[in-house]
Chains A and B, each alone.
Chain A
C-alpha cells in the first residue's frame, strides 16, 4: 500500500494562477479531507468528502474547490492563487465512522508570489 500520496511536493505560483493539488489513497477509504498548515495556526480543515460525489466545506473553504469523482482521488483546486494561500497542504483519508483516525499524506508546500 502506498497510503496517501500527494503531488507535487513543492510548488511556486504567481498571484492569479490556477493549479490543482493532487491527492490519492489506495486504502479504499470513504472519507478524505484537505487541511492547510500555517505557523501558529495549526491545521485547519479546508474541505472534506464522505464518499464519491459528496463534498462539504470545512473551516476555511474560500478560494478552494474540490470534487470527488472516485473513491481514490480528491484533488484540491486553486482557481486564482493569492499570497494568503501560501501554506503547507495536507491530504488525509480514513474509513467511515467515528471510531477511526486519519492517515495523512506527506504534504505539498505551496508558495504564491
Chain B
C-alpha cells in the first residue's frame, strides 16, 4: 500500500519569505500526486497535481511543486508567501485506482 509523509507538522514563515513544504511518498511505481489546501473551517481545495510529463508543476495562487522520482518527493514551493496563505496543506497520493492517501498535513503560519 502507498503512504505519504509530511515531515513538518507546523511551519512558520514571515510574509514575503519563500516557502517549501515537504512531501515524500512510498509506492512501487509513480503515482498521481496532489497538493491540497484547507483554510480553517473549510473543505479542501486542489492547488496542483502531477500525473506525468514535466516534473515542475504550476498550480493556483502562485504555488508550484517539483516531482523528483529519485527522492520520491513532491515538494510544494512558493517564492513569496502572503498572509492569506496561512492554512493547512495536504499532500496526497493516488496510485491509480482512486484510493487516495493523504499525508497528515502541514500547518502554515504566516507572521507579518
Interface residues of chain A, those whose CB is within 8 Å of chain B, are 31, 33, 35, 40-45, 48, 50, 58-59, 90, 94, 98-99, 101-102, 104-107
Contact = CB atoms under 8 A, between A and B. Distances in A.
A90 B99 contact: no
How many chain B residues sit at the interface, stated as a range, is 20 to 34
B94 interface: yes
A48 B98 contact: yes
B43 A90 contact: yes
Contact of B43 (A45, A59, A104): A104
A101 B90 contact: no
Contacts of A48: 98-99
B51 interface: yes
A105 B94 CA distance: 19
Contacts of A94: 98
Interface of B: 4, 9, 32, 34, 42-46, 49, 51, 90, 92, 94, 96-105
A101 B46 contact: yes
Contacts of B9: 40
B102 A43 contact: yes
Nearest to B4: A42
Of A33, A40, A43, A44, most B-chain CB atoms within 10 Å? A43
Contacts of B45: 104
21 contacts: A31-B98, A33-B98, A35-B102, A40-B104, A42-B4, A42-B103, A43-B44, A45-B101, A48-B98, A48-B99, A58-B99, A59-B99, A90-B43, A98-B32, A98-B97, A98-B98, A99-B51, A101-B49, A104-B44, A104-B45, A107-B43
